[in-house]
Amino acid sequence: MARLALIACLAAFTGGCEVEWGGATVELEDPSPPPEESAAAETAGEQAELPLPEGPLLWVVRSTDPGGDVVALPVARLEDGLPVDIAWPEAPTTNFRERFQAAFEAEGTELVLGSGGSRIGSLVLGGPTPAMDAGCPSAAAARALVLPGTRVPPVSFALGPNLTIPTVGSADGAAVDNRMRTFGPILAEQLLRQGGEDRPFLAQRADLVAFTWPGDERPAMAATYLINDTLAGPGPSGAAVSLFFLARFGPRGYEADWSEMRTYSGEAGSREIFTWLNSAPLPGGRLDFVVRWDGAVRRLAASVDSDDPNRGIAWTESARCPSLELLGIPTAAGAPDGAEAPAG
């Protein structure tokens, strides 16, 4: 019987079999190695684990070539007209980066190019470049297509793909005039007093920028005032105050449309200053960007133009992948069009 059982096991050894007789045990198993998961199964598992963000995306565009060659870096995605986190993983795999580039940075992809709150043309991507930081999205070489005679500003913004903003405007900047220089200090004092500062007369203007606001007869202005701090310095040695405001010209002169006031100590790098950078068009309005100076890192922050009297910052860029640093964008106070050197 034991011999018959052994023969039966040899005939069907692939399933494994165990036979006992005379105090001995014989066990036969399938010698072939276990099946390996296919590369397709691994890819499918990664896709389920790391889904791509949903577009459209928001891009920072840096131009150093008057001929139209630029570099664009995705920094956020748009959700209901607001920028939100791009959901870029801290340790992206090669496969995730390749899928992201195929979805958003493929050669020939066309984006909306915006500056000053208007569309100034289109941006055609030329394909991704090597990653500037292994943990951050890759930039893309691109070509700016604008109307003849239109200059691409040093810093602009792109949106898309698959986003439609048909109206095309101009990127030409406005100039700071005496009316702005007159109303600026008055607005600064009013806003500082409203914020509880009892020494508004100590505020020094650190930045003043003029820019065109579509539909307004006169240009808008954005200004930054500081107490016991400077943009170029290492930071305050004691209590300091920063004030940023964006103001539009109306029947009663310039009135604040958006303001941010901060009080900080300067200890352990504590600092929070805002300077205006540029704005991008949205399907329902515009998105104004400021540079947030918080210690050693400069990050983008943005606010959506609205009728809300308490308009404030709607999005701030992660400190992990600061686009201004990655793109090498200089930070002279008020680098965009219409900037005026800080007052002495």
**pLDDT of amino acid 8:** 44
**pLDDT of amino acid 334:** 39
Q: How far is CA 229 from CA 199, 236, 289, in A?
A: 14, 5, 22
Question: Dihedral through CA 99, CA 104, CA 105, CA 106, nearest 10?
Answer: 80
Considering only CA atoms, which of 28, 328, 340, 307 is closest in space to residue 177?
A: 340
The segments of the chain whose pLDDT lies below 70 read 1-49, 171-172, 331-344
151, 66 Cβ separation under 8 angstroms: yes
Return the sign of the alpha-carbon dihedral for residues 232, 332, 261, 296: negative
**pLDDT of amino acid 67:** 76
Considering only CA atoms, which of 123, 111, 124, 205 is closest in space to residue 164?
A: 111
**pLDDT of amino acid 287:** 94
**pLDDT of amino acid 57:** 95
Give the SS3 label for residue 83: strand
**Which distant-in-sequence residues (6+ apart) come within 8 Å of 227 by Cβ?**
197, 199, 202, 203, 204, 240, 241, 242
Per-residue pLDDT tens over the stretch 162-206: 888 877 777 667 899 999 999 999 999 999 999 999 999 999 999
Helix (H) or strand (E) holding 280: strand 273-282
